[in-house]
Amino acid sequence: MDPFSDTLQRLREAFRSGGTRPAEFRATQLKGLGRFLQDHKKLLQEALAQDLHKSFFESDLSELILCQNEVNLALKNLHTWMKDEPVAKNLLTQVDSAFIRKEPFGLALIISPWNYPVNLTLVPLVGALAAGNCVVLKPSEISQGTEKVLAEVLPLYLDQSCFAVVQGGPEETQQLLKHKFDYIFFTGSPRVGKIVMAAATEHLTPITLELGGKNPCYVDDNCDPQTVANRVVWFRYYNTGQTCVAPDYVLCSPEMQERLLPAMQSAITRFYGDPRSSPNLGRIINEKHFQRLQGLLGCGRVAIGGQSDERDRYIAPTVLVDVQQTEPVMQEEIFGPILPILNVRSLDEAIDFINRREKPLALYAFSTRNQVVKQVLDRTSSGNFGGNDGFMFMTLNSLPFGGVGNSGMGKYHGKFSFDTFSHHRACLLAHSGLEKLKGIRYPPYTPRRKQLLSWALSFQNCTLL
């Protein structure tokens, strides 16, 4: 027996009733989500500590605060976002009303990952609710503590006639994906993303894929090595490196490498002291990922760190040098506290190295020379770009977040989330009379009529309704 049929049927009926469309209902849902975040802050912090050994500071900074900001922004701008958007008209439609209406898709499925299990679940949920959809939420079963809170507590704050959380592993997810949804939002690996996309194709379901990849970090010779080290170390080892936009490898000259290594060791010591006992360094999510990362420690030569403890799923902040491009650490997204450094002799060589690989989710460039950063930006492609800093763009809901090519498709955050979960419906409302004005369109066609039609179609006028 299909465990999801009854739930999905209930949600579809709720959407067809039209109850999710009014702004007042959407705002009520968003307020409920905001209350959940406020009422259960400690519970969520404890779940994140259980799953990933996240400090309360890190949980607040990268998960709870960003989610609350998204809720607040959506509530503040909901009516504006929902308004019909007038568009320019030609002379043939001048007396008509032309506009874009943002309407909900219907039943949306959100599949979220384990590495930021609150943020990457609730931020897309904000967009789906603001857009007026019914939602099925599928949190990751790997982050068990957070999954339990989302499944048992979150539904108490939302209208359960149009919202549901489903649990399970890959088998349950594959069974869920056999059903038709009106929109699918997936965050995870490119490998699983292909499976989700294939399932969406069966029903021609539109989809957003937020994937990952190997994010390059180019460090120019014209840099203060300690400044670069501070920023790279913080962003690489944040959440124990289990971040889809973390720098995955560094490209620099051999000379910069020699300057960068002691600066990175200094930053690691200042940030974490003894990393093993630091409250600010998390742990690897599970045994499977620990063993995978343990295998990568054998690539190249360990210049910093390299220590590990299987019982505690601990891997020290590690820097690898003398790494070959063909080694496993350069063939897959690392997703852990390991950072390889590869040597290049010039900016052109670095850009060529980047462009010969799949387009990454994020790309970083460090230099005191603005033209160097600008060249990397202009001559490469990535989902997101950071010049002289790490992934602080993630804190700006005024910027879209998303991948390109192998790192994903679609975008969200702020209004971009609302737009992602909204169908942009092209509308033209013509006057029921005034037929003489419309007569120019009808046969029989003459050269004079063609001339008038061409002129009328090419004339763009005001955008007022």
Please give the positions annotated as active site.
210, 244
Phi-psi region of 306 (alpha: psi -120 to 50; beta: other; left: phi over 0): left
Around Cβ 19, how many Cβ atoms within 10 Å? 15
How far is 249 from 259, CA to CA, in rounded Å? 17
- Pairing of β 216-219 and β 249-252: parallel
Pairwise CA distance, residues 132 & 28, whole Å: 11
Rg of the chain over all Cα atoms, to the nearest angstrom = 26
CA distances from 8 to 3, 163, 290, 444 (A): 10, 10, 36, 53
d(CA 181, CA 174) in angstroms, rounded, equals: 13
> From CA 266, how far away is CA 270, in angstroms rounded?
6
For 170-194, the DSSP string reads: HHHHHHHHTS--SEEEEES-HHHHH
115 within 8 A of 440, measured Cβ to Cβ: no
Alpha carbons 82 and 101: distance in angstroms, whole number: 8
- Nearest Cα neighbor of 371 from 216, 222, 215 is 222
Which residues, listed in sequence order, are joined to residue 207 by a DSSP beta bridge? 184
Question: What separation in angstroms does the CA of 2 have from each of 111, 124, 151?
Answer: 19, 26, 19
Alpha-carbon distance of 192 to 196, in angstroms, equals: 6
Distant-in-sequence, close-in-space partners of 238: CB < 8 Å, separation ≥ 6: 58, 62, 246
Which 8-state DSSP code applies to residue 115?
Answer: S
The residue behind tokens 């030609």 is: 90
CA distances from 124 to 183, 392, 405, 416, 443 (A): 12, 19, 20, 10, 50
